Amino acid sequence: MKRFSLVIALILAFSLMAAGCNNAYGGESEHTTMILDTVGESDMNGSEASSTEETEYATPTPTPAPKTVVVSFTGDVTLTQHYSSTASNNFDHVVSGDMDYCFQNCREVFENDDMTLVNLECAVTDNTAHADKQFVFGMNPEDLEMLNRASIECVNLANNHTRDFLEEGLTETKDNLDQYGIVWSDQNNTAIYETSNGVRIGMFGLANNSPIDKGLTAISTLQNDGADIIIASCHWGVEGTYTQTREQTNQAHRLIDAGADIVIGSHPHRLQPIEIYNGKYICYSLSNFCFGGNISLSDPDSVIIQCEFLMDAEGTSCVDYKLNVIPYSQTSTRPGNDFCPKPYEWGTTEYYRVLKRLGWSQEDE
């Protein structure tokens, strides 16, 4: 009993001492509690207990994916025949008002890009007064529906046939294009097309008698207007030739040096080489594509060029380029011209002939 009484007394003494210590320090402090919560408490076996405080981490801001823009280009498009032609196989007779006919074999290509640009080599007018020249091309305004249905959004007017029906015809051409929602540019007018992902594509044209200074001024204007990509359409060179002139090369280099992202050429009615200059592409001539002025074709080879522009994270500057070359024939039947371009099959003689004339290998992509 004495031993049991002694144990009870010792327990009571230790209890009083513990209570006194807590009273001396004002009880267990919040500071102590915070430290214990952060560092952890030891359990009865001396092992470390897990922390009760949750650590918060900031969610990293995702890096914006770079924007890519795909633009398709073709050479000369003339959706009409010589104004006085009555031949049974001319453009109007063959097409017979079918708005889907001419571009049925390439519409899907154009629909799946961000923008398509062609060289429209004719006036679009009902005007009858015309220039005194060998070939005069005047397109029916309602036939612009062909471009709309084919997803061709933009045209270059800097060439030697948009004035075939004089200044009045050129004015009507621009008004008709505006009415159909087709963006146009030439040597005196720049234009900007905004893609669905917000990239602003600037463009201008140079006719074969336009001074290069007009192009340099156009580039500066587009830069000031906030164009993210700049396209130069040049109607130049010598008809019927497969090699660019020294003047074409010099002008193209100056346009690239001034800030153009790509140079697209037309007018020779033949394919001419593709050059890579300072990391950017120059297509000296894309030949004809759908050309109603030719009933017969001495050379049917054509091409669709697609340039993929890789933009920076903000989408305001192009940092890289990739070219896709799609060999085409201007007609789907031979001989003659049915005004319905058709792709050459991969691996055929015609397919590789186009690549050779462009000086291009698909391994260059």
pLDDT (tens digit per residue) in 133-150: 999 999 999 999 999 999
Q: Which pLDDT does position 314 carry in this prediction?
A: 84
Tokens read off for 206: 């140079």
Amino acid at 92: D
142 C-beta neighbours (distance < 10 Å), count? 13
**For residues 292 and 103, what is the distance between their CA atoms, to the nearest angstrom?**
13
Q: Which pLDDT does position 47 carry in this prediction?
A: 46
pLDDT (tens digit per residue) in 19-44: 444 444 444 444 433 333 444 444 44
All structural domains of the chain: 1-56 (no CATH), 68-364 (3.60.21.10)
Confidence of residue 59 (pLDDT cuts 50, 70, 90): low
**For residues 44 and 274, what is the distance between their CA atoms, to the nearest angstrom?**
81
pLDDT (tens digit per residue) in 152-184: 999 999 999 999 999 999 999 999 999 999 999
Query: Does the pLDDT of residue 289 top 90, yes or no?
Result: yes
Q: Do 235 and 264 touch, CB atoms closer than 8 A? A: no
Instruction: Please name the residues in contact with 274: beta carbons below 8 A apart, sequence gap of 6 or more.
Output: 281, 282, 283, 284, 305, 323, 325, 358, 359, 360
pTM assigned to the model: 0.82
Longest distance between any two alpha carbons in the chain, whole Å: 139
Q: What is the 3-state secondary structure (H, E, C) of the chain?
A: CHHHHHHHHHHHHHHHHHHHHHHHCCCCCHHHHHHHHHHCCECCCCCECCCCCCCCCCCCCCCCCCCEEEEEEEEEEECCCECCCCCCCCHHHHHCCCCCCCCCCCHHHHHCCCEEEEEECCEECCCCCCCCCCCCEEECHHHHHHHHHCCCCEEECCCCCCCCCHHHHHHHHHHHHHHCCCEEECCCCCEEEECCCCCEEEEEEECCCCCHHHHHHHHHHHHHCCCCEEEEEEECCCCCCCCCCHHHHHHHHHHHHHCCCEEEEECCCCEEEEEEECCEEEEEEECEEEECCCCCCCCCEEEEEEEEEEECCCCCCEEEEEEEEEEEECCCCCCCCCCCCEECCCCCHHHHHHHHHHCCCHHHC
pLDDT (tens digit per residue) in 252-273: 999 999 999 999 999 999 999 9
Q: Is the dihedral of CA 185, 318, 283, 291 positive or negative?
A: negative
How high is the mean pLDDT of the chain? 87
